[in-house]
Structure 1
Amino acid sequence: MTDMGGRRDTGRSAQQEAQDAAQQRGTEAQQRGAEAQQRGTEARPTVPEARRSEEGRRAPMGMGAESGWLTYAGTVLAVLGVFQLIWGLTALVNTGYYIVGSTGLAVAFNYTAWAWIHIALAALLIGTGLAVFGGQAWGRYVGLALVSLALIANFLTLAAFPIWSIVMIAVDLIAIYALAVHGRDTETARA
């Protein structure tokens, strides 16, 4: 028997027929893909395959936006470490370079003590920057703590070299932003 549309009535619903047709198209696409692999070429996706959502596919680590922020945060931490090293070495080598004497600072350590504080921060910041750059989750928390300490150290030595300290404080704040706001990308990228 046929219905008004010219279809033959087989006792199956239209939904079942549509499911069978979709399954048949999927099987044909798999067969074309297998044939293309045997020939050494890639199969072109059919229209339904091309329209599929990208939700199921995730960019590998190093390819997404989270990687950009992690790379940025790790790089900023390492650069901050180098800047702290410059500050520390300058204080060790030439204490006359700074605008005020060590007694004019907020905390009256001599410049040699401040130099070693900045050098120690430098080593820790560079190491933590490499850890964040490498995608280590602990690097985010250690980085936040170290950058906060570096910010405080730069604030306390503001009178010694104001322009340098203001620039360093600004970079410290940017690093804190990158680690605090976008640091969660470390966990999501590794999941």
Structure 2
Amino acid sequence: MTTTPTPAPSSRPGARQEWGSGGITFAGVLMTVMGVFAILEGIVALSKDDVIYQRIGDYIFKFNLSAWGWIHLILGILVLVTGLGLLKGAVWARYTGVFLASLSVIVHFFWLPYQPLWGLVAIAIAVFIIWALCTSWDTATSRI
């Protein structure tokens, strides 16, 4: 009498898909929060009232504070809308999310001299968003 071994729980066919879909939901939440933070960064940079952004050192990529404010405000609105689209399950939001998270990495790299700690945190969050949206791409797009 031969018996077929049962697969380990981690090798179940649906295990990775369930985990991947949870990552997409978490990426949607992160994009929504990151979008709100970017909107607030943009508003603060445009208002020039109480918070003073001061550039650390001499950096080759220089923009004035109003330009940075508009960049963060527009990017924040787009990231917020895309994050909400991800939470709704829209397929377009996955493609747009990867693009905007990549753009966010670039923008926050250029923003490092103004806010180094937040710039590094935002880059790490954006990289996680890209990873979460790209893992198990086939299963997630067929689910949505």
Corresponding residue of 1:166: 120
What letter matches 1:147 in structure 2?
A
Alignment of 1:18-167 (within 5 A): 64-94=18-48, 97-100=52-55, 104-167=58-121
- How far apart are 1:65 and its partner, in Å? 3.6
Contact 1:125–1:143, Cα closer than 8 Å, also in 2: yes
* Offset at residue 123 of structure 1 (A): 0.7
- The TM-score, its normalising length taken from structure 1, stands at 0.60
- Report SS of the residue matched to 2:127: helix
Whose relative contact order is higher, 1 or 2, with alpha carbons under 8 Å and at least 6 apart?
2
CA distance in 2, matches of 1:72, 1:142: 16
Check the 8 A contact 1:70/1:185 in 2, yes or no: no
Name the SS for the 2:118 alignment partner: helix
Does the aligned pair in 2 maintain the 1:106–1:157 contact within 8 Å? no
* Residue of structure 1 equivalent to 2:5: none
The answer as to whether partners of 1:66 and 1:186 remain within 8 angstroms in 2 is yes
In the alignment, the residues of structure 1 paired with residue 124 and residue 40 of structure 2 have an alpha-carbon distance, to the nearest angstrom, of: 17
Larger radius of gyration: 1
Give the paired residue count.
Answer: 127
SS at match of 1:97: coil
Please report the TM-score for the alignment, with normalisation by the length of structure 2: 0.77
1:71-100 Cα distance to aligned partner (Å, 9 max, x none):
111111111101211211121123762231
Per-residue deviation at 1:69?
A: 2.0
CA distance in 2, matches of 1:134, 1:108: 38
5+ long unaligned stretches in structure 2: 1-13
Quick check: which one's helix share is greater?
Answer: 2
Against the structure 1 CA distance between its residues 106 and 158, is the aligned structure 2 distance closer, same or farther, given a 3 Å change threshold? Answer: farther
Structure 1, residues 124-146: CA drift from partner, whole Å, max 9, x if none? 01111111111111111111111
Q: % of aligned pairs identical?
A: 35
Alignment correspondent of 1:6 = none
Distance in 2, matches of 1:80 and 1:98, equals: 19
Note closer, same or farther for the CA distance 1:81–1:164 as it changes in structure 2 (3 Å cut).
same
